Amino acid sequence: MLSRHADSLYWLARYVERAENTARLLEAATRLSATPIIADGGRNEWEMAVDGTGTLDLFHQQHAEATQRTVVDYLAFSLANPSSIRSCLDIARANARSVRTALTMDMWETINSGWMETRGVNSPNLTRQELSDFLSRVKELSLRFDGSAYRTMLRNDAYYFLRLGTFIERADFTARVLALKADVLDPSRPSLGGSADYFQWSWILRSVSALTSYHWVYRDNLKPNLVAEFLILKAEMPRSLVYCYENITLNLDSLSRDYGRQGVSQRKARMLLSQLQDTTLPGLFAIGLKEFLERFIFDNDSLGNTIAEQYLG
């Protein structure tokens, strides 16, 4: 396929995934803002949501204070934020339009109608209900896009590039949310007291939609070390780093099998996957959770660049 099309597909998937992730962050923040606990070095839940997207500096250039109003505007609607939901969907649709031929009708209709439905919503003074409806629609767009890709796309390079985009973006997001809260996940850290710990840990799980599944896997209360294990090492958890890398490796291997040629991307991905698989929970905390995650975010990013050099240039 055309390199330009592969590039557009890869980024299309990344932006759809990013829009969904940002929607989940906003949902988690809305929820947390309805509880009385604020105990994170004076930072409120809205600022945490911005930090989860890794763009806190940009936010503070545009807004003095993190309130529901400023953060919802910045994360959901602002065109001055290149990763806002609105920006993500605009770019996703533009990309989809430029690779119209590589998408199935169902995928294109999902993106196009989702984009049309959400572009009208644009008030900085949304009610909670309106915000919640908007976020639901964004998640629905992503779910339908994913589902229609899964159900209607040919299993060829176009599909593999799309999936690579999804999992690189997802791994990045899970790692960032965890890194943000690495300190509260350290088991040696003294308790914040009351239910404060619970709200911090559940915020992490909610941001990646993993609270219910946590209970199913561990059948236990929230424990900080298990939260970390769940989102990093559990292969059955579809947002965990291991799961993302199993899929990245799988799709890169399918690509090299179809093309009859291996490259740097394949080797790099396999190395990262085996590092993750060899990691144990005690090992993780011995290295330091924060250091581990920062290293991972860097490696993941660099794999993205390697894929671009190898295929998308």
Partner 1 sequence: MPAFDEMHGFGQGVRPAYRTIQAWLDSSDPENLKRLQKEAEFLFRRIGITFAVYGDAEAEERIIPFDIVPRVLTGSEWTMLSKGLTQRVTALNRFLADVYGAGDIIRAGIVPSDLVYQNSAFRPEMVGLKLPHDVYVQIAGIDVIRTDDKDFYVLEDNARTPSGVSYMLENRDVQMRLFPDLFADTRIQPVDNYPDELLTSLRSLAPASAPAEPTVVLMTPGPLNSAYYEHSFLADKLGVELVEGRDLYVLDEVVYMRTTRGPKRVDVIYRRIDDDFLDPLVFRPDSVLGIPGLISAYRAGNVTLANAVGTGVADDKAIYTYMPEIVRFYLGEEPILKNVPTWRCREPDCLRYVLDHLPELVVKEVQGSGGYGMLVGPKSTKEQIETFRARLLADPDGFIAQPTLALSTSPTFVGDGIAPRHIDLRPFVLTGADKVRIVPGGLTRVALKDGSLVVNSSQGGGTKDTWIIDDPADDASPTSSSQSQLQSGS
- Site residues for partner 1 per CB under 8 A: 1-6, 94, 97-98, 100-101, 105, 108-109, 112-113, 116, 157, 161, 259, 311-312
Distance CA 163, CA 269 (A): 14
Which residue number, 157 or 169, has a Cβ lying nearer to partner 1?
A: 157
Distance CA 109, CA 112 (A): 5
For 142, the token pair is 């992503």
Distance CA 68, CA 128 (A): 10
Which residue number, 102 or 184, has a Cβ lying nearer to partner 1?
A: 102
Which residue number, 101 or 305, has a Cβ lying nearer to partner 1?
A: 101
For 302, the token pair is 């660099």
Residue 11: half-sphere exposure toward Cβ, Cα within 13 Å: 22
Distance CA 97, CA 101 (A): 9
> Measured from the CB of residue 7, what is the shortest distance to partner 1 in angstroms?
9
The secondary element (H helix, E strand) that includes residue 249 is helix 241-259
Distance CA 239, CA 178 (A): 12
> Measured from the CB of residue 120, what is the shortest distance to partner 1 in angstroms?
13
> Measured from the CB of residue 161, what is the shortest distance to partner 1 in angstroms?
8
> Measured from the CB of residue 117, what is the shortest distance to partner 1 in angstroms?
10
> Measured from the CB of residue 253, what is the shortest distance to partner 1 in angstroms?
15
For 82, the token pair is 């290149």
Which residue number, 161 or 199, has a Cβ lying nearer to partner 1?
A: 161
Which residue number, 98 or 132, has a Cβ lying nearer to partner 1?
A: 98
